[in-house]
Chain A
């Protein structure tokens, strides 16, 4: 933003003001063509200015001119009018000098930093200043910049007022030009914390509640991600419970469950977190100091969120839910009493859970079940509650199909899904991810769950999903990703390294069914690192369709859903 050269315009306006009488007469028949502006765009502004128009694109002279024309007209104390007012710098310079000579000690409004100097300026310096200002005016006019200036009533006005006014005017002007630019900037997701930035890490450590120990043998590529050992944090947390202070026990409990790995899936984590926040809100009472409910509650929620983040990094769905909650809190009006506000917030949370998770799941099942036909062989990876619901529903509808479950280390989540399906009597095939090329030639459809879908259509999901989708693509098997819309995010990501979650590396060293593993003492070897990624990113071209509660959409339509349905939470 180019700061307006207010002093120059003042002088110019003053100078023009000198010439006003003739100009105003000329105004009746605006002979625009006769007055050549040269490098000046003054002519347009002079003749096209209307009093009601807000200051617009010219050297601000028109604004001042239009509003103060009456004033200026009165000031015709010099008869020195040049017929062609705006024709050239020399004329103007002379007129400026003339004006300065006439208004001897009068301080002209100038740039704020010069004002103090001007106040003390001796008249002997006025000529030098006038020359400077004339040159500056010439430069400014040569650029024909978009400058605004506050329509100054008097030249003697205090500068800070003008400064404030000018800034507001500038804002207003910019707002008029591009009304959505500010909003658009707000849409950009804030940059996430990068853990290779030492100062940030230090600050975060000071704020942290959970004591983290530095991980051994860090993998270089992932220095920007938090790599903490979680093994000994449980005992630390347990011992420091009574020093928690502000932390609500419900939040503490949920945090411990995250840390211990009792709650793992993103839907479950989100629901449990929201329910913990409900308890926080119910038990909350505004402190008697001078804060509003909204601000204090937001601070409390923030503290809880950072605690949960330290226990286990938040998933994208949890982030979206927290944003929703904070938006609701800020919308609370002061008119509501505290109990009203609390009940409304709790009911909002309930509605969110119901609408965005429970009912959305049911709707997705209805959509997806239409895609399971008799004789199908459905391949799925890992364990997703949504996929389980779809398969069981299709089985209830007496469709004849079988399921192939692909599993991988280190979590071996597929065994849980396998157990549930076998109990219901479905015929299943179970294999590990290396054998996916072997089983892919008999699969007819792939159903995958997701942790999130990003705005460039990429699917952010359990590590290994990308491999399955890639092999399916090579064998021409369609891939259907089932995901609720509250998990969509406006972030974009190209590969799995930029943002991920690192899990416990010790799990890799331990092979199931063996007592002495060859990597048991991996920590002692400095050349050896174990990497346990939690997520990976599947490119959009491997995915055939995404099943959401709004229907089945191609991956390229995800940003549309984020934009239309994400921001205002229209369902609630």
Chain B
């Protein structure tokens, strides 16, 4: 607790502390399955942190950001592969910044109107225009139009602002403090509202993606998928409900064999399904029209962190010119660029899934004295699919090219939040 205080310099409430610790444990022990569930839980946790955070009088947004960043740093350190956690943290930070900016512009507008109405009663229109111009310049990057519009009145507006704020500050302290209180309450309120919207989006991302199924799946198609993904199930079933007839080849996805559960689910909903082994993917893909898979995470360059085996499928699809479609909710979009993702964004799971522990004990001679172990068993959990192998991303905001994904980052994340690690306070 004290260490946390020293690090962050802000106070974190004790009840949230318990919540955070609980979530950290779950992450470390890999108890949460799937990025959607992780994202939802992270968002809910951050919402409770925000609502219980006591904010100082000045610079509330900064304090909030500081607190969230501290927690986010811990969360991402607990599970480096689950990038959805970091995504949600950054989304929340972006939300805070955005709400802060919008409140500031509103308050500037309101403040200047107040101040100006005292001083310059004869020119309410001018003051309103000045306020509007000021708001525009603070919020938007300079464009040609704004520059041309504001040129003559720019200096006057700046002077008026300065004048009005100083004059307002001198004259009306009480209103200012009440304003600030209401503003802080407003900030929290807005942020929590937007975070609620975020949670709602995460929960309904499947439906929004599934709505686009009809555009992509037509009659008598053959679709290949590997492993299992909730998004893929909803996608295929949405097409089925629109009376499109198609067949699905499901590769079982060893060593977790999630393909079996997917096949069972699809058959229960009335789809023609064939289960094949992963080694038969190249053999069967010549008869396949489209490959549809889910993703674990989408990186900023358009590369995909996917369940193991999908790189092989993507290469086979490229060889046979079969479109490789990745379904991903926006909460999976990570603003970081991958560096050596096969190693750094990967996890090695237990070798017992491949080989029983005692299987080769009778033939391994431990007397050979080189010291290095004779037998490695490698069981990676994820695969990296480079963007050139992906034909299309289908997200809840529509279909995108892999080369476009970096542009979506600007909509959802701020550049200041890319690095969650705090600078050490000197």
Which residue numbers of A lie inside 8 Å of B, CB to CB?
A: 219, 221, 407-410, 415, 418-419, 422-423, 425-439, 441, 463-464, 466-467, 470-471, 474, 495-497, 500, 508-509, 511, 513, 517-519, 522, 525, 527-533, 536-537
Contact = CB atoms under 8 A, between A and B. Distances in A.
B312 A470 contact: yes
CB-based closest 10 A-B pairs: A464-B279, A434-B309, A496-B283, A536-B283, A437-B311, A466-B282, A408-B279, A429-B376, A423-B363, A431-B378
Nearest to A521: B264
Given A463-B280, A527-B270, A528-B267, A437 B342 contact: yes
Interface string B350-368: 0000111001100111001
Interface string B303-326: 000001101100110010000000
B30 interface: no
A130 to B, nearest CB: 65
Contacts of A410: 277
A410 B373 CA distance: 28
A138 B6 CA distance: 115
Contacts of B376: 427-430
A407 B274 CA distance: 22
A221 B280 CA distance: 14
A531 B373 CA distance: 38
B279 A430 contact: no
Interface in B366-383: 368, 372-380, 383
Given A430-B375, A432-B354, A531 B315 contact: no
24 contacts: A409-B277, A419-B360, A428-B375, A429-B376, A430-B354, A430-B375, A434-B255, A434-B309, A434-B383, A437-B383, A437-B384, A438-B342, A438-B346, A463-B283, A464-B279, A470-B315, A470-B316, A471-B312, A496-B284, A508-B252, A527-B272, A529-B275, A533-B284, A536-B280
B279 to A, nearest CB: 3
A511 B260 contact: yes
A517 B257 CA distance: 10
A157 B282 CA distance: 67
Contacts of B383: 434, 437-438
A438 B316 CA distance: 16
Nearest to A495: B286
Contacts of B150: none
Given A219-B274, A434-B254, A438-B380, A525 B267 contact: yes
Nearest to B311: A437
B86 interface: no
A414 B308 CA distance: 19
A278 to B, nearest CB: 35
B140 to A, nearest CB: 45
B308 A467 contact: no
The A interface is mostly helix, strand or loop, or mixed, namely mixed
B359 A415 contact: yes
A414 to B, nearest CB: 10
Given A419-B360, A529-B273, A409 B279 contact: yes
Nearest to A536: B283
Looking at chain B, what size class is its interface with the partner chain?
Answer: 35 or more
Nearest to B377: A430
A508 B354 CA distance: 16
Interface of B: 252-255, 257, 260-261, 263-264, 267, 270-284, 286-287, 308-309, 311-312, 315-316, 319, 342, 346, 354-356, 359-360, 363-365, 368, 372-380, 383-384
Contacts of B379: 431-432, 435
Given A467-B281, A508-B252, A441 B342 contact: yes
Given A434-B254, A508-B277, A467 B375 contact: no
Q: Which of A408, A415, A519 has the most CB of B within 10 A?
A: A519
B216 to A, nearest CB: 22
Given A429-B377, A463-B283, A518-B260, A434 B308 contact: yes
Contacts of A470: 282, 312, 315-316, 319
B360 A422 contact: yes
A537 B309 CA distance: 19
Contact of A536 (B282, B315, B359, B363): B282
Given A467-B312, A470-B319, A508-B252, A425 B275 contact: no
A407 B257 CA distance: 15
Contacts of A425: 365, 368, 374
A537 B283 CA distance: 7
Contacts of A530: 274-275
Contacts of B319: 470
A415 B355 contact: yes
Contact of B363 (A419, A429, A500): A419
B341 to A, nearest CB: 11
Contacts of A527: 267, 270-273
A433 B283 contact: no
Contacts of A536: 279-280, 282-283
A438 B312 contact: no
Contacts of B309: 433-435
A508 B287 contact: no
Contacts of B254: 408-409, 432-434
Given A433-B254, A528-B274, 18 more contacts: A409-B277, A409-B278, A423-B365, A427-B374, A427-B376, A429-B378, A432-B254, A432-B354, A434-B253, A435-B309, A463-B283, A466-B283, A471-B311, A497-B287, A518-B261, A531-B276, A536-B279, A536-B282
A497 B286 contact: yes
A474 B346 CA distance: 20
Nearest to A537: B283
B219 to A, nearest CB: 16
A564 B283 CA distance: 31
Contacts of B257: 511
A466 B278 CA distance: 12
A464 B287 CA distance: 17
B363 A422 contact: yes
B312 A533 contact: no
A435 to B, nearest CB: 5
Contacts of A517: 260
B380 A531 contact: no
B374 A435 contact: no
B343 to A, nearest CB: 9
A497 B312 CA distance: 19
A513 B319 CA distance: 35
B315 A471 contact: yes
Contacts of A423: 363-365
B316 A431 contact: no
A509 B355 CA distance: 19
Nearest to B307: A434
A518 B264 CA distance: 7
B279 A463 contact: yes
A413 to B, nearest CB: 11
A220 to B, nearest CB: 8
Contacts of B278: 408-409, 432-434, 464, 467
B316 to A, nearest CB: 6
B277 A463 contact: yes
A200 B402 CA distance: 51
A464 B252 CA distance: 14
Contact of B274 (A436, A496, A529): A529
A428 B273 CA distance: 37
Nearest to A428: B375
Given A409-B254, A425-B365, A434 B312 contact: yes
B380 A433 contact: no
A409 B276 CA distance: 10
A382 to B, nearest CB: 9
Contacts of B252: 409, 508
